[in-house]
Structure 1
Amino acid sequence: MEVYKNISDLRVGIILLEDIYANTKYPIMRKNTELSFERIEVLNDFGVKRVKVEERVVKKDLPDGEQDSSVNPEDVLENIPMNHYLLKKQYNDAVRAYQKEFNNWRAGLRPDIVKVREFIVPLVEQYIKQKDMLSMLNEFSTPDDYLYHHSVAVGILSAAISNQMGMEKGDALQLGLAGALADSGMSKIDSSILKKTAFLTKEEYNEVKKHSLYSVKMIQDTPLLRQEMKIAILQHHERLDGSGYPRGDRMETISVHSQIIAVADVFHAMTTERLYRPKHSPFKVIEMIKEEEFGKFDLKVMEALHKLVGYLSIGTRVKLTDGELGEIMFVHRDAPLRPMVKKESDGMIIDLTTNRNLAIAKIID
């Protein structure tokens, strides 16, 4: 079937039915070319918007045990939308760029906020547009490179939460940049502490707690961050009940901007695998923050996060923390994160409000 498709809707294996030009004398891609992720990315880089293709996806006949080398199984899933693939690539590029900047800070250089802004702001803008990708952030991180993934992800989540709360775009982008820089002061912490796989001693933990002071000191002179964002960086480990650090600020002395970065920080940290502990389900983490950490975080901020990454509806296909697949049959008004789920394996309906040892692990498209 011959159709015209937007670049964002293309899939690996689709066949081009026309030569593609991009203000060039010769085609950048010939008719009958089978599209790979790399070729679709080339079309995107050249600004091609729509192409004529054969709707049928070609499946290669490969010997048993052999994989198509055009697809990296660590980066993509079969038939993943191209816009998702490109966004993950942009995310990975940002993580690598952040790591390079972090190493410069560790070596004693002052933060180049312009450079950080160049790779963080376009990324958070894309994530605000593609909110369905927010729930996948915890799957991108690796334990060894956690710190760099965490900073980029906190920037993304901070911007998305503020956008969900109805803040102006400028505020959302500022919070995205502030969230990404909130842990820049970690570059001043001894690397042996940051790489430790066991729980920290009291002395080591007290040293880590200085990072927010280091962070705000590192960025205090930049005109690219508003004063309220610099305060948010300083306060992103403060808690409404006074249990946070570095000053033990309470309630109205803690800004909503600080709370947004704080919630983004805790959520990503708890949903991501670390060197010393496994990750938790995003749905379980939202529940834990609301219940076990009650009184520490702004409820409006938590509700915005819930709507972004934890919203469940009847008919949604999910995976439980025990690996079972199922369909949501009923969502409790007072416990929306613990619905009734019909298992695919045997048709049994499980009420997660009474089966507290289980939780939603992820939504299955």
Structure 2
Amino acid sequence: MKETYIKVSDLRPGIIISHDVFVNTNYPIVRKDTELSAEHLEVLYAFGVKKVKVEEQVVVKRDELQSSVGEGSVKPTAILSEIPAFKADIKSQYDNTIQNYKKELTSWRAGIRPDIAKVRSMTMPLVESFIEQKKLLPLLNEFSNSIDYMYHHSIAVGVLAAAISKQMGFPKGQTLQLGLAGVLADCGMVKINTAITEKAAFLTKNEFDEVKKHTIYSLQMVKDSPFLRQEMKLAILQHHERLDGSGYPQGVKLDKVSVLSQIVAVADVYHARTSERVHRSKESPFKVIEMIKEEEFGKFDIKVIHALEQLLGHIAIGMKVRLTNGEEGDVMFVHRDAGLRPMVKKDVDGTVLDLTTNRHLAIEKILK
């Protein structure tokens, strides 16, 4: 097939790029065999590319190009929907759920028998609200606080577990069941001495060994309830198990760890690392997803991690973002093999920062 160079100013959507396009980057900003879209054209313009090699030369007038990029095309910023106007409503519903669940756990700590049906009725409406509006999921980290972390964490794990399972294609009944299991996964913490659970400093080995017992306590508290299926009770017991056998309480591995346990586990780790705690500052959600994928490789089911990334790690060209160093800018290009580390054009000086080569930085937050 005939190939030729063509000026970027003469390109139009639909033309096929015949060679990778690099601009002082480790990854191509446009890959070979890509069919150009209006979005690709904006990227080439932004990086100052003058000409590219294509399968065949097609020349169009500049005003035709403007028309193809403008009318009828989707602007990059339209990819990210704005948070719905009812944010205040979901915050109110969330706060009420937290307070109600806190009262319930306080009564369990005092020796009252757990009422799982009551927990289901007070938490599932909130879970459903979030999974029906998944764009609201990032608000979980905004709503959480270090003072009542245990209660925030329980509710958030339930919401995230339900959202991940829905993303993976689970039926609604199973999704809500897993949401309830996520909420109850740490209920056994009420059996641990508050001097340990509320300790501001890092735990000693003996204290951590005591905390590890919470999965067994949680199972004991829910095992007789008819409102949770047996596989959900197993997920509660196993939510700190890992596929490589490094988890607890039994140290089981591979197919001995259920996928439902893995979903709750990933939800648990993600929220714990992205939330403010008395002994640890919160981390970037995008950095945490990257950590789960790379540093914790082999511990979690890749299908579960992929679902989490689809829900909370989506980055698109045109998004306004804040970096972990406080600088803000626009996403100019997203690497196919490193989607969490895009190229960002900084507002302060217009320079383009490639996060694949600046590993000390990460996306902190999507602004719009």
TM-score class normalised by the smaller sequence: 0.7 to 0.9
Query: 1:1-365 counterparts in 2 under 5 A?
Result: 81-365=84-368
Cα distance in 1 between the residues matched to 2:262 and 2:131: 19
Shift of 1:139: 1.5
Amino acid at match of 1:256: V
Shift of 1:132: 0.8
> What is the Cα-based RMSD across aligned positions, in Å?
1.0
Greater relative contact order: 1 or 2 (C-alpha under 8 angstroms, separation 6 or more)? 2
Give the TM-score taking structure 1 as reference length. 0.78
1:184-236 deviations in Å (ceiling 9; x for gaps): 00000000001111111111000000000000000000000000000000000
Cα distance in 2 between the residues matched to 1:256 and 1:89: 33
Cα distance in 2 between the residues matched to 1:300 and 1:324: 33
The question of whether the paired residues in 1 share the 8 Å contact of 2:83 and 2:136 is answered with no
After superposition, the Cα gap between the structure-2 partners of 1:279 and 1:180, relative to the gap in structure 1 and judged at 3 Å, is same
Shift of 1:114: 1.3
1:224-281 deviations in Å (ceiling 9; x for gaps): 0000000000000000000000000100001110000000000000001111110001
Amino acid at match of 2:276: E
1:65-111 deviations in Å (ceiling 9; x for gaps): xxxxxxxxxxxxxx974322111111111111111011011001111
Secondary structure in 2 matching 1:338: strand
Cα distance in 2 between the residues matched to 1:110 and 1:319: 46
The question of whether the paired residues in 1 share the 8 Å contact of 2:273 and 2:283 is answered with yes
Question: Where does residue 52 of structure 1 map in the other structure?
Answer: none
Shift of 1:358: 0.8
Q: Where in structure 1 do 4 or more consecutive aligned residues deviate above 2 Å?
A: 79-82
Identity of aligned residues (%): 63
Question: Where does residue 42 of structure 1 map in the other structure?
Answer: none
Cα distance in 1 between the residues matched to 2:252 and 2:113: 28
Cα distance in 2 between the residues matched to 1:294 and 1:331: 22
Secondary structure in 1 matching 2:135: helix
1:148-191 deviations in Å (ceiling 9; x for gaps): 00000000000000000000000100000000000000000000
Question: Where does residue 16 of structure 1 map in the other structure?
Answer: none
Shift of 1:316: 0.9
Amino acid at match of 1:229: M
Secondary structure in 1 matching 2:251: coil
The question of whether the paired residues in 1 share the 8 Å contact of 2:343 and 2:352 is answered with yes
1:7-56 deviations in Å (ceiling 9; x for gaps): xxxxxxxxxxxxxxxxxxxxxxxxxxxxxxxxxxxxxxxxxxxxxxxxxx
Cα distance in 2 between the residues matched to 1:298 and 1:80: 30
Question: Where does residue 77 of structure 2 map in the other structure?
Answer: none
Unpaired runs of at least 5, structure 1 = 1-78
Give the TM-score taking structure 2 as reference length. 0.77
Cα distance in 2 between the residues matched to 1:138 and 1:80: 14
Shift of 1:319: 0.8
Cα distance in 1 between the residues matched to 2:190 and 2:155: 15
After superposition, the Cα gap between the structure-2 partners of 1:319 and 1:213, relative to the gap in structure 1 and judged at 3 Å, is same
Larger-gyration structure (1/2): 2
Secondary structure in 1 matching 2:243: coil
After superposition, the Cα gap between the structure-2 partners of 1:86 and 1:273, relative to the gap in structure 1 and judged at 3 Å, is same
Cα distance in 2 between the residues matched to 1:276 and 1:105: 25
Unpaired runs of at least 5, structure 2 = 1-81
Amino acid at match of 1:104: S
